[in-house]
Structure 1
Amino acid sequence: MKTLCWLCLASAPALADPGYYLVTPYGEPGLRAVDLRYWTVKKPGEKARLWPELGLRYGVNNRWTTGLFASYIGDTWGTQKLSSLNWQNLLLLTQGQYAVDLGVHAQLIHERGEGNVLELGPVLQTEWGRSQMNFNLIFEHDWASDRGTQLKYQGQWLYRLRPGLRLGVQGFGELGRWNRWSERQSHRAGPSLRLGLGEADLQLSYLWGQTYGRRGDMFSAQLLWRF
């Protein structure tokens, strides 16, 4: 995905950006929603890098949800530039008949001036009492580079404090090539808060850790507004 040359040495190859939004298996036939996303990466002593995203999501049926997104990047709001156009799809394979729900995440990303990237992988979710647990493995292939197929993971635990309010932990990481993990891996984790606001859902997270072997704290906000 978007290049993060500021995270690597000048002589190092370009690196994909860290995956950040956790994918969950859901099925809402007829769903129409605006999906607003915002996240940052901040190195110690430096300004944060900003990634606002705007998308539309639609539930085609009870097993297939699709969405189109425009992703921007910049050091300030005044310097934002279009970074990529994304077509995201979630296909449900199970719907409550087993202890763990299973879906498939597929996303085609057109990076402006760089080429196309495909993300593909299983998404898992289970619930135990008031707890919701998620774990995803995502394979990423960039046709415009020689990095091969990269492997990323996502994880989450949320506890329902009361209706419309959940608190928990998220974790993300990039391991390098799926069959030869990198020495400069990324691992980040931190608290996450999810609020149900009528027709809208808001999730806020702050993660500490490393991005490709170097310190990089991250903040994200995602607002899904149904209409």
Structure 2
Amino acid sequence: MAPAVADPGYYVVAPYDQAGRVGAELRYWTTKASGENAVLWPELGLSYGINTRWTTRLLASWEGESLRGATLSTWNWINEVLLTQGEKPYDLALHVQLVHNHEDGSHALELGPVWQTDLGRLKLNANAFWEYDSAKRDTRLKLQWRGVYRVVPGWRVGLQGFSEVGRWNDWAPRQRQSHRAGPALLATLWDAGPDTVTLNAGYLFGKVYGRRGEMFTMQLQWLR
């Protein structure tokens, strides 16, 4: 599997207010192309809600075919800015992510809108990100979506999906695009006093890097 400065979408970005709260998170995602060993990406991040509109995050990402053999892959500075705050029947935010490749010093910029709405117990997300890669010198389009249903307070289940379609203004032929989807789980594991612990996870089937494969994605976050 060829390495990339900015890898396929591994978790669905959602708009939320984290004002004044510090967060720590563990992310872990894997991809496995047919007939190949799985590639693992363990990640650690710290976040802070600067105000009711702006949350910033620093994330370190490792890559390898085993946890012991994983090496530092990228540094990521991620910002979400809320553009609406309850005045609309939906939430809208701007996602900005700067990626520094540790190995070759190249960079990527990911930018795009983040959208979310609730229909009764159903929560819907849809995002579109344009990604400029300084190594490839082109801009590619990435799509994310999710629909989850609240089964009991704090627990939602449903489906999510990710796509990479190629250059933003000249999509790749269908057979060279990557689309994958599968079951998703969102859970609040703890919410008492100042502390909140949440878990997002999913298992997806389809194509990764233009090849048939599978993906597991998990995000465990603590906020205070």
TM-score, scaled relative to structure 2: 0.93
After superposition, the C-alpha distances for 1:161-201 in whole angstroms (9 at most, x for unaligned) are 01111001001000100000012111000000111011200
The runs of 5 or more residues in structure 1 that have no matched partner are 7-13
Match of 1:194 in 2: 186
Counterparts in 2 of 1:173-184, with a 5 A limit?
Answer: 173-183=163-173, 184=176
Match of 2:124 in 1: 133
Match of 1:33 in 2: 23
Say yes or no: does 1:185 pair with 2:177. Answer: yes
Check the 8 A contact 2:5/2:99 in 1, yes or no: no
Q: Distance in 2 between matches of 1:24 and 1:145?
A: 28
Matched to 1:128, the amino acid is: L
Identify the range of structure 1 (117-126 vs 43-52) with the bigger mean alpha-carbon deviation: 43-52
Q: Distance in 2 between matches of 1:182 and 1:217?
A: 21
Check the 8 A contact 1:83/1:111 in 2, yes or no: yes
Match of 2:108 in 1: 117
Matched to 1:98, the amino acid is: K
Match of 1:19 in 2: 9
Match of 2:86 in 1: 96
Check the 8 A contact 2:125/2:146 in 1, yes or no: yes
Q: Distance in 1 between matches of 2:68 and 2:14?
A: 32
Say yes or no: does 1:76 pair with 2:66. Answer: yes
Say yes or no: does 1:214 pair with 2:211. Answer: yes
Matched to 2:129, the amino acid is: I
Q: Distance in 1 between matches of 2:14 and 2:8?
A: 18
Check the 8 A contact 1:5/1:15 in 2, yes or no: no
Alignment length (residue pairs): 216
Match of 1:224 in 2: 221
Give percent identity, aligned residues only.
Answer: 52
User: What is the root-mean-square deviation in Å for CA atoms of aligned residues?
Assistant: 1.3
The runs of 5 or more residues in structure 2 that have no matched partner are 191-195
Matched to 2:135, the amino acid is: A
Match of 1:5 in 2: 2
